[in-house]
Amino acid sequence: MIATEVKTRFAEIQEKVLTGQRLTKDDGLVLFDPRTPLAEVGRLANLVRERLHGNVAYYNINTHLNPTNVCVYRCRFCAFRADLRDPKGYAMSDEQILARGREAVDNGCTEMHIVGGLHHKKPYEWYRGILSQLSEAYPTIHLKAWTPVEINWFEFLTKKSTREILEDLREAGLGSLPGGGAEIFHPEIRDQICEHKANAHQWLEVHRTAHQLGLRSNCTMLYGHLENAYHRIDHLMRLRDLQDETGGFQTFIPLAFHPDNTKLDHITKPSGLVDLRVLAVSRLMLDNVQHVKAYWIMLGIETAQLALSYGADDIDGTVRHELIYHDAGATTPEMLSVQRIRELIVEAGRDPVERDTLYHRIERDPHDLTKWSIK
Ligand code: SF4
How many helices (H) and strands (E) the chain has is answered by: 15, 12
Neighbours of 188 (CB within 10 A): 13
pTM attached to this predicted model: 0.96
Residue 58, H or E segment: strand 56-60
Query: For ligand 1, what atom is nearest to the CA of residue 77?
Result: 1
| Residue 54: Cβ within 10 Å count | 11
CATH of 57-374, one of 3.20.20.70, 3.40.50.1980, 3.20.20.150, 1.20.1530.20: 3.20.20.70
pLDDT for the residue numbered 223: 98
pLDDT of residue 320: 79
Q: Which of 322, 277, 273 is nearest to 296 (CA)?
A: 322
Q: What is the pLDDT of residues 78-109, one digit of tens each?
A: 999 999 999 999 999 999 999 999 999 999 99
If you count them, how many residues does the chain have?
A: 375
Q: From the CA of 116, give the closest atom in ligand 1.
A: 7
**Rounded average pLDDT over 227-236:** 98
Tell me which residues have their CB closer than 6 angstroms to ligand 1: 71, 73-75, 78, 80-81, 117-118, 149, 194, 197
pLDDT recorded at residue 325: 67
Confidence of residue 301 (pLDDT cuts 50, 70, 90): very high
What was the pLDDT predicted at 13? 98
The H-assigned helical ranges of 54-93 are none
Closest CA to 231 of 193, 186, 264, 281: 186
**If you measure from the C-alpha of residue 90 to the centroid of ligand 1, how many angstroms do you get, rounded to a whole number?**
14
State in Å: Cα 368 to ligand 1 middle: 37
* DSSP bridge partners of 260: none
The rounded Å distance from CA 301 to ligand 1 centre is: 25
Can you give the pLDDT at residue 139?
97
Residue 297: pLDDT band with limits 50, 70, 90: confident
Determine whether 193 is exposed, middle or buried from the number of CB atoms within 10 Å of its CB (0-12, 13-18, 19+): buried
pLDDT greater than 90 at residue 326 = no
pLDDT value for 357:
97
| Ligand 1 center–CA 42 separation, angstroms | 32
Q: What is the pLDDT of residues 164-207, one digit of tens each?
A: 999 999 999 999 999 999 999 999 999 999 989 999 999 999 99
CA distance to 25, 39, 147, 208, 235, per residue, from 238 (Å): 11, 27, 17, 12, 5
> Ligand 1 centroid vs 156 CA: distance in angstroms?
16
Those residues with Cβ within 8 angstroms of residue 109's Cβ, 6 or more apart along the chain or in another chain: 61, 62, 63, 141, 318, 320
Tell me what the mean pLDDT of segment 50-60 comes to.
98
Give the DSSP letter of residue 82.
Answer: B
The domains of the chain are located at: 57-374
Atom of ligand 1 nearest to the CA of 197: 3
* pLDDT one-digit tens code per residue, 103-133: 999 999 999 999 999 999 999 999 999 999 9
The confidence score (pLDDT) of residue 328 equals 77
The residue to mutate among 81, 84, 122, having the most atoms of ligand 1 within 8 angstroms of its beta carbon, is 81
Residue 327 has pLDDT above 80, yes or no: no
> How do residues 356-375 score in pLDDT, each as one tens digit?
999 999 999 888 889 999 98
Nearest CA to ligand 1 atom 3: 73
Kind plus residue range of the DSSP H or E element containing 324: helix 324-327
